[in-house]
Structure formats: C-alpha cells, structure tokens
Amino acid sequence: METAVEVAQTAAKKVAQGQHIYVYNNFRTNQVVYSLTRSIKNNDALAQLTYTGKNSVPRAIRKDLWRPLLTVSFPSALQGLSAYRKLREFRRLHETTWSDADVAARRQHVLLGPGKFRNKDKEEEDGEDWWRDIERKPGKKEKKMMLMDQKANSIADLAAVLFAQERQGVQREEGLVKRAEEEAKREKERWARLEELAARAKGGEVERLNEQIKKLEAELAAQKEKENVPGEQGKKPDGKEPQLKPEGAQELELKRLRRQKHELLHAKNQIEKRAKGEIPDTTGPDVVGIKIEKKAPWPPPKYGPLRKQALKREPYLPTTEGVRIQWANIVDAEFAESWPSAVAHEIMGYFRHQAPHADPRDAKPKTRMSHGERMGVMKEEREAERQREAEEAASESEQLGMAEEGAETGEVSRGPGQGQRREGDMSFLTGGQSAAPSVQPRV
C-alpha cells in the first residue's frame, strides 16, 4: 500500500507531466521520437513512426540504437503539452507533404555541400554530367531513407514552435491588456451611474416613489373588490376554468415603480459599502496591471466547464522566458536558422540509453575514465578489501585467544555488565547450592 508521501509524489508527477519533452534519435536512420518521460515507451514510440517502406518501422524499440538528442524544459506543463502536440503534427506533415524537388535539394546538399549551388551551363561546357544525378526521380529506397531522416527537421520544428509560442504570448498579453482596459472603463461608467442613482435616492425620490406605489396598490385593491362577486369566484357560468387576464396599465406601472425603487436603494447601498471599504475600488490605475500579472495555471481538465473556468481564471500566456534546451551535441542546434533570444542552451553530455533528469541538480554528465584510471580504481578497491579482511582475521584471532585463556583459568566471560562465573558453578539454578558440572572445561 502506498504511503502518503508516495501518493503526493505520484500526483506531483502527473501534474508536471508535459513540462519536459525528451527527444530521442536513432543514430542509424536518424528517426526521431518524442517522449514525456525519461525512458522510451515502446507502444508510444512505435505509434509515432510512420511506415515509409520495408523495415521502416521496427517490431520493437531497441534501446541500444536510440540515444538522447535533446531535452526541452518549459516554465509550465500546459505550454509543454502544446509544444509536444505541435512537434508531432509538424513531423507528420514532413512525412506526408513532400515533392521531388525536396529530394533534389537534399541530393545537391549532399553532393556539393551546404550553402553551395551548381552552375548547370558551366557543367555542360566542361563536359560534366554528374549533375544529372541531382534531378533524377527518387527511388523507393531513397524516399524511405529521406522520410526516415527527421533529425534536422525536428530541430528546425522546435525552433519554429518556440517562435510561434513567443508571438502567441505577446498577442495574448496585448489582448488581455485591451480587455482589462475595456473592463476598467465599463466599471467606471457603472460606478458613475450608481453614484447618480444614490444621489437621487438621497434627494427624496424614494419617498415620492413610495407614495405613488401606495396609491396604485389602493386603486388596484378597490378595483378587485368590485370585480369579485360572492358565490361566482373562480368559475364561469359554463363551469370551465377562468383564463388569466392580461395585465393592465396600472399593474405595469406598479412594477416599473417598484423596480425603480429597488435600483435606487441598491445603488445607495453599494455606494455606502464602497465608502466603508467593504467593496474594493475597481476603477484605479493599477487594476489593469493586477489583472495582467497572472501566471499560467496548473494543467486544467481536458474537457468540461471546469477547463474553461480554469483558463478564464488564470490566462495561459506562453513565453520563452525560462525555456531551457539541453543538447547531447550542441552542434545540432545549427540545424535551425535561429532561436529565440530568451531560450537557454546547455550541454547535456553523453548518455547512451536514457536521458538524464531535466532538473540541473540531478542532470550530472557521466565522466568517461580511461583504461589506466579504471585499473587504478580497481586496484584501490582490492587493497581496501584485503585490509578489511586482515582486520577481521586479527579481531577473530584475538577473541579466540581470550577464550582459550579463560578456559585454562576456569573462567568464561558472560558479556558486559554480567560479571564472571566459573564453568562448573550452577548455583544460579540450584538456589545457591553448587551442583556437579555438566560440561567439562576446554583444555
């Protein structure tokens, strides 16, 4: 049964799921897999791989072929889950929307090198025809290898997602500022209206409305007394139920006067509470800033009205402040044209099968020792083991010598705090009378 600490740790992991994205790369085919956990889950990884040809999707994930490529850490789990969804969508677009021109561009990059372009006229004059290999149609195997190689595309996609989140955060912040200003303006107009109604209530308009209401109520009561006939109440001559009569002008006027009186009294009450400090002032200059300084929420529910309430209560503002990328090889960052300036780049180190903890306190790169250093460590461990065995043997021989010496003198140690007695002394069993020894002393 799980303890309270284990339950709390499990709940914290579920809440923080999505804050870190672990990217793994197959160093043979350059296939890429995204994971929300440090270790690759077989079924989840296989679901991300698209069938592009024979042997393009393995039967199972071999961890000896997959190595950590990078780890992305986000300031909130909601932002990380959004980026995770976008990265998988972009990778699917790369695998489904491509043309022969993309294959030709990749051939040119491989044959000529990055940043170089061919001159078709000059090559024809020189009699070179190797450039024709660039424009030929791709075969099945070449298309398969091209679609499996998603390492550069994944890194470029990550940079594009971070730029999009940065723009989205700026736009949402501007929208929140505008919305807060509009709300402050509406609140100011509402309080101005309440102050006007409160002034009218204090000016004696409530008493005037009370008199009009009493007068109308008396007129309606007298009219109902005239309409009511004894013995014929509630029924028509044919015995059918009576139909409701539409309200007259007097009833409507009475409702209007009562509503007007209620508005005046409510406005007066609100103004008095505001003067006492029971209601906060929502028309000050700092209200807009207070409404904007809300952080991203914990991951809200996936569906239902609670999700809308959580997002409305705490607006989701994606930002690149606090985004951290740990690279297994920092040179891979050059696959993207540019990165947001606020993103921090760090070196993860060499790891074979599993990425380190995203927390910098736990992510310590492994140190690779040379053969001589490893042999030296093993030699020190053997010497420490021999010294420990020698000390144990010396302590055992010392105890054995003390036991033999006690046997020769006829005394045996009973342990600390118990004193000593002779081997043949059985007085503790016979009530103080010595009995014959049952065991012969050791010689």
What pLDDT, in 10s, does the model give residues 416-442?
A: 444 444 444 444 344 444 444 444 544
CA distance 161 to 164: 5
Quick one: 73 and 128 in the same domain?
A: yes
Pairing state between β 344-347 and 324-327: parallel
Residue 339: band (very low, low, confident or very high) from pLDDT cuts 50, 70, 90: very high
Residue 203 lies in a domain: no
Residues spanned by the domain of 99: 14-167+317-347
pLDDT at 420: 45
Mean pLDDT of 248-252: 83
Residue 32: band (very low, low, confident or very high) from pLDDT cuts 50, 70, 90: very high
Residue 125 lies in a domain: yes
Residue with more model confidence, 324 or 129: 324
Please calculate the CA angle 301-303-305 and round it to the nearest 5 degrees: 90
Residue 106: band (very low, low, confident or very high) from pLDDT cuts 50, 70, 90: confident
Residue 174 lies in a domain: no
> How many Å separate Cα 77 from the centre of its chain?
2
Residue with more model confidence, 7 or 212: 212
Residue 222 lies in a domain: no
Mean pLDDT of 143-158: 90
Residues 6+ apart with CB under 8 A from 279: 270, 273
Residue 146 lies in a domain: yes
- The answer, yes or no, to whether residue 303 has pLDDT greater than 50, is yes
Looking at the structure of the chain, the number of domains it has is 2
Written as one letter, the residue type at 97 is: T
Contact predicate 72/98, CB 8 Å: no
Residues 6+ apart with CB under 8 A from 357: 38, 363
Mean pLDDT of 247-273: 88
Quick one: 382 and 336 in the same domain?
A: no
Both tokens assigned to 263: 């508005």
Quick one: 322 and 401 in the same domain?
A: no
Residue 31 lies in a domain: yes
Quick one: 41 and 119 in the same domain?
A: yes
Sign of CA dihedral 100, 101, 102, 106: positive
What do you get for the CA distance between the two ends of the chain, in Å? Answer: 57
Quick one: 40 and 84 in the same domain?
A: yes
Residue 290: band (very low, low, confident or very high) from pLDDT cuts 50, 70, 90: very low
Share of the chain above pLDDT 90, in %: 24
Residue 390 lies in a domain: yes
Residue 75 lies in a domain: yes
Element (H, E) at 32: strand 32-35
Quick one: 325 and 379 in the same domain?
A: no
- Burial environment of residue 78 by CB neighbours within 10 A (0 to 12, 13 to 18, 19 or more): buried
Residues 6+ apart with CB under 8 A from 346: 324, 325, 326, 327, 360
